[in-house]
Chains A and B, each alone.
Chain A
Amino acid sequence: GQQVMQIPQYQHVQEGEDFTTYCNSSTTLSNIQWYKQRPGGHPVFLIQLVKSGEVKKQKRLTFQFGEAKKNSSLHITATQTTDVGTYFCARSNTGNQFYFGTGTSLTVIP
């Protein structure tokens, strides 16, 4: 019940193409966080979504929280080689325990 599933597991794109990763939960989420982990690095917080239907943008990154608060997506427009890494979503109900998704590994081919 606490698991969050992410798809796809891997994604290879040509530089300049768009990329989307999806995070799905069987139960309603109070919030969802997104992290990026570069190869060999540590997770870096990107954003937190709280409201139903919320959409937030960070430059070429667009984050959405579903109306039912059971899914979320991260979309990158016109990928660059600096976007390479694994993108994780994470759920937290209380703020004291976080469940990370399975991650989507993005490879950008120059």
Chain B
Amino acid sequence: EPEVTQTPSHQVTQMGQEVILRCVPISNHLYFYWYRQILGQKVEFLVSFYNNEISEKSEIFDDQFSVERPDGSNFTLKIRSTKLEDSAMYFCASILTPGLAGAYEQYFGPGTRLTVT
């Protein structure tokens, strides 16, 4: 069973510091996503990425956030200057092809728990 991997599993950082969360999507997938989930709340869409550029982003994804696919396998989320309210679980996900029957299953990684102190 293919899987999405994420590192680290837990990141603790001080307010104002930069963090980079890493993801390795499933190798033949074309669409990549970042979500966040504050403890006990719903999963919130941050950004989608296709063909080496941002496809859609939510209002949460402001100038403090950026994404990158630095090589053929990694997909990263950078938060430039973390705030206390950035503390959450961050999930990466990938899809082969959203519009194609049988290929729209979204696979989530195990998540990175970010704690900002």
A binds B: yes
Partner of A97, one of B56, B99, B104: B56
Q: Evaluate contact between A102 and B42: CB separation under 8 angstroms.
A: yes
Q: Is the CB of B31 within 8 A of A42?
A: no
B75 touches A (CB below 8 Å): no
Contacts of A96 in B (CB 8 A): 31, 48, 50, 55-56, 98
Contacts of A102 in B (CB 8 A): 42
A45-B45 in contact (CB<8A): no
A103 at the interface (CB under 8 A from B): yes
B106 and A33 within 8 A (CB): yes
| Contact for B58 among A92, A95, A97, CB less than 8 A | A97
Give bound CA distance, A97 to B109, whole Å: 17
Contacts of B18 in A (CB 8 A): none
- Which residue of chain B has the shortest Cβ distance to A33 in the bound complex? B106
Contact A43 B31, CB 8 Å, known A95-B104, A96-B98: no
Number of B positions contacting A (CB below 8 A): 25
Number of chain A residues whose Cβ lies closer than 8 Å to a Cβ of chain B: 22
Contact status A101-B42, CB under 8 Å: yes
Question: What is the CA–CA distance of A43 and B55 in the complex, to the nearest angstrom?
Answer: 22
Question: For the complex, is A52 an interface residue (Cβ under 8 Å from B)?
Answer: no
Contact of A20 with B by CB under 8 A: no
In the bound complex, residues from chain A placing their C-beta under 8 Å from that of B43 are 35, 37, 43, 88, 90, 100
Chain B residues 61 to 80 lying within 8 A of chain A, measured CB to CB, are: none
A44 CB–B CB distance under 8 Å: yes
- A45 contacts B91, C-beta separation under 8 Å: no
Q: What's the Cα separation between A98 and B98 when bound, in Å?
A: 11
Tell me the complex Cα distance, A15–B88, Å.
32
Asked whether A45 lies within 8 Å of B56 as measured between CB atoms, the reply is no
Contacts of A35 in B (CB 8 A): 43
Check if B111 is an interface residue, CB within 8 A of chain A: yes
Residues on B close to A: CB < 8 A? 31, 33, 35, 42-45, 48, 50, 55-56, 58, 91, 93, 95, 98-99, 104-111
Q: Can you offer 5 A-B residue contacts whose CB atoms are under 8 A?
A: A45-B106, A45-B107, A48-B105, A90-B43, A94-B56
